Amino acid sequence: MNGAAVSSSPAPENISGVPASKSALVVLDNELNSDLFDHLNSSGWSVEYVADNRAALDTVHQRPFDLIITAEGTPAKQDLDLLRNIRAVRPHTRMIILTAESTTRDVVDALKQRAFSYFSKPYSFDDLTRVIRMVANGPCWDDGIEVVSATPEWVRLLVRCERACAERMLLFFDELVELPDKERGEVAYAFREMLINAMRHGGRFDPTEYVEISYVRAQRAIVCRVKDPGQGFAIDELYHAAVSNPIDNPIRHMMYREAVGLPPGGYGIMLSRHLVDELIHNEQGNDVLLVKYLDSKPGKELH
């Protein structure tokens, strides 16, 4: 390929609720994802394809795009260089990075450079299409994930109290956590429960409020901190949650939820306690630590 624009397809008008004005630039490579192209074209995007990152930058210099998607086969470092260069020309462009080669430092850099989302192979196509819909249906550019400080070992973030920001944060979190699939899934579930609880109960899903998140990768443990902007709570007063049920009444929360019109559920904190090694709340209840040891014996050195 010579780096020139490959093709352009006009968008059908208002298919799947996507405004016809939404435009995407997709970088191609030898690992063509036909499902991605089919999704974009059938969802009302005006899509243009280019052969490589150099052609992408040249094209962005000529005109803006609502979304840029990188090629799966390109190393993340090259895509991050592209993002930095695009930021100088089109600072509000949303980029989704697809990559086959990734490190924790790459994910951290993607957060710092305000990538809209980041996927390393293998990734869920459903997750990718969900993020694309966020771009299509979201308001004008406003990131919602602010990096306070970040190294591969310690990341501090502020995340706006909105569901879309929570979903994006969960995808970044999945890329950050270096654990086998089973353990990563367990930590991710617990983190999701604490994050959504913080936004719902502490932040009231108020977009002017932020949840503070820290992720620490120590030698023997992974530690996640979630601090919400609310006044906190007492665990034994969470009548809607299974974690507060007395021993002699293990279904009390179900009756409470039914009485106040809440849907079935309320098991998040209780399940999270079983999925991580330690779940520790502060006195006020608005600050929680999740600890997952990297070895069955925490005091043992890692190899």
- Render each residue's pLDDT in the chain as its tens digit; 303 residues: 444 444 444 333 444 444 456 899 999 877 667 788 889 988 889 999 999 999 999 999 999 999 999 999 899 999 999 999 999 999 888 999 999 888 999 999 999 999 999 999 889 999 999 999 998 887 655 679 999 999 999 999 999 999 999 999 999 999 999 899 999 999 999 999 999 999 998 999 999 999 999 999 999 999 999 999 999 877 777 777 777 778 888 888 788 778 888 788 877 888 899 999 999 999 999 999 999 999 754 443 333
Give the pLDDT score at 301.
38
* 196 and 257 assigned to the same domain: yes
Task: Give the domain-ending residue among 112, 140, 168.
Answer: 140
All residues at 6 or more sequence positions from 301 whose CB lies less than 8 Å from its CB, including other chains: 219, 220
Both 189 and 166 in one domain: the answer is: yes
- Say yes or no: 173 and 298 in one domain: yes
Q: Contact at 8 Å (CB) between 10 and 46? A: yes
Range of the domain at 121: 1-140
97 and 166 in a common domain: no
Q: What is the CATH number of the domain that holds 6?
A: 3.40.50.2300
Same domain, 20 and 161: no
Domain count, the chain: 2
Residues 19 and 116 in one domain: yes
> Is residue 264 located within the same domain as residue 301?
yes
48 phi, psi to nearest 5 deg = -125, 140
Q: What is residue 16's predicted lDDT score, i.e. its pLDDT?
A: 45
What pLDDT score does 4 carry? 43
Say whether both 225 and 283 belong to one domain. yes
Q: How far apart are CA 132 and CA 124, in angstroms?
A: 13
CATH number at residue 169: 3.30.565.10
pTM: 0.83
Among 140, 158, 175, the domain-final residue is: 140
Q: Other CB atoms closer than 10 Å to residue 89's CB: what's the count? A: 12
Same structural domain, 133 and 191: no
**Among the three residues 125, 140, 155, which one is the final residue of a domain in this structure?**
140
CA distances to 105, 207, 294 from 102, in Å: 8, 31, 21
158 and 254 in one domain?
yes
* Whether residues 115 and 148 fall in one domain: no
Structure tokens belonging to residue 137: 């249906």
Query: Residues 128, 206: one domain?
Result: no
Whole-number pLDDT of residue 12: 37
